[in-house]
Structure 1
């Protein structure tokens, strides 16, 4: 029960943080900038592109790991895509924060929220968000830290976002280089909480 709760709450928190960074309008995270850019240039909602890009990554991860695609990861991207559209299209559709300092604060808060969300749902060992699975694949294949693997994955997405005219800015740079360390920071803390609840 705790595992499923951590999983859903983690994804809900993650998607909330994603939308905050988009709404800050200082440059979204690399993967989110890619999804926003695709939504603007091709069509469909940002959440829909979360799902489409996720499917591509599921296939890529399977190739890198040389195993059958993680079909259950579809559940994760469907939930994230749905939650992103919920926050972006319903809750915050008409919200446009103003003022540079306030927007910067929203960006940093969103970044922290994303990191906590990722650290929470990773504890459950349920199907990973394909982006985070890609991070873990790089972590395993290249024998680097989670922090380094996340940063490498973000840099790859940043290049793709540039080609699709995604919202790249100072916020993108901040997120690209801080998301890995922040997940690394929150992961053991969330792990401690998860284990305490699990063995109560």
Structure 2
């Protein structure tokens, strides 16, 4: 039986794919958010807050996404969570992408078009989530807040995540954010959809390599 070794030098070969996957995923995430906004059938839970803040205080939804993301990231400090490149990129790239997408996307005036925008936004968001999480370069700030609170409080993931999102939606709705059928559809469907795409889009860990292959490589 051959001894198995892990070759650390194999990791950089996957870094270009991981970076590409990260930033494509974040850009598509912003586009999916814009599709929900333009559908006018309700937006994603955190976007209810971003939209409400934009309507109440001015600035764009993307700008508020960046501001809220940065504030949430500061909340990692007492929770002792460690951000990665993907975490910091999440804060800025998604906010920029949603504002850029809203500039070019038309409004859907007929119901069929609005439903199509919401459905496409939901599917695209699931793919985008699997892309940036699958890149394994750090969770988003809101995901890290959830995991940090779970670790600190001992509560379940379901309870903590539900509590955070209910609070966010209620505050956003009170500020004028759009809460509708698409919001409910997103809450019900995003988990199962991400579960479908995530295994297919996760960059695999380094695989063990037979010891003789390592020896031949080093000799060469």
TM, length-normalised to structure 2 = 0.75
In structure 1, C-alpha distance between the alignment counterparts of 2:145 and 2:163, rounded to whole Å: 10
Q: CA 1:156 to 1:61, structure 2 compared with 1: closer, same or farther past 3 Å?
A: farther
Which deviates the most, 101-110 or 15-24?
Answer: 101-110
1:76 is the counterpart of 2:90: yes
C-alpha distance in structure 2 between counterparts of 1:41 and 1:154, whole Å:
20
Which residue is 1:32 aligned to?
A: 47
- Residues 1:45 and 2:60 aligned together: yes
Q: Within 2, Cα distance between the matches of 1:179 and 1:12?
A: 18
User: 1:56 maps to what in 2?
Assistant: 71
Alignment of 1:148-187 (within 5 A): 151-187=162-198
Report the CA distance shift for 1:58/1:13 in structure 2 as closer, same or farther (over 3 A). Answer: same
How large is the RMSD of aligned CA atoms in angstroms?
A: 2.5
Q: CA deviation at 1:132?
A: 2.8
How has the CA–CA distance of structure 1 residues 123 and 152 changed in structure 2, closer, same or farther, with 3 Å as cutoff? Answer: farther
TM-score, L = length of structure 1: 0.82
Q: Does residue 97 of the first structure (1) align with residue 108 of the second (2)?
A: yes
Gaps of 5+ in 1: none
The residue aligned with 1:5 is 20
- State the partner residue of 2:120: 109
Do the aligned partners of residues 71 and 6 (structure 1) sit closer, same or farther apart at CA in structure 2, a change above 3 Å counting? closer
Mark the CA change 1:76 to 1:152 in structure 2 (over 3 Å): closer, same or farther: same
After superposition, the C-alpha distances for 1:143-174 in whole angstroms (9 at most, x for unaligned) are: 756x7765554323212212211011111121
CA displacement, residues 52-96 of structure 1 (integer Å, 9 cap, x when unaligned): 100121122333x335x63853332111111111111x312xx11
> 2:216 corresponds to which residue?
none
Paired positions, count = 190
Q: List runs of 5+ in structure 2 lacking aligned partners.
A: 1-15, 208-220
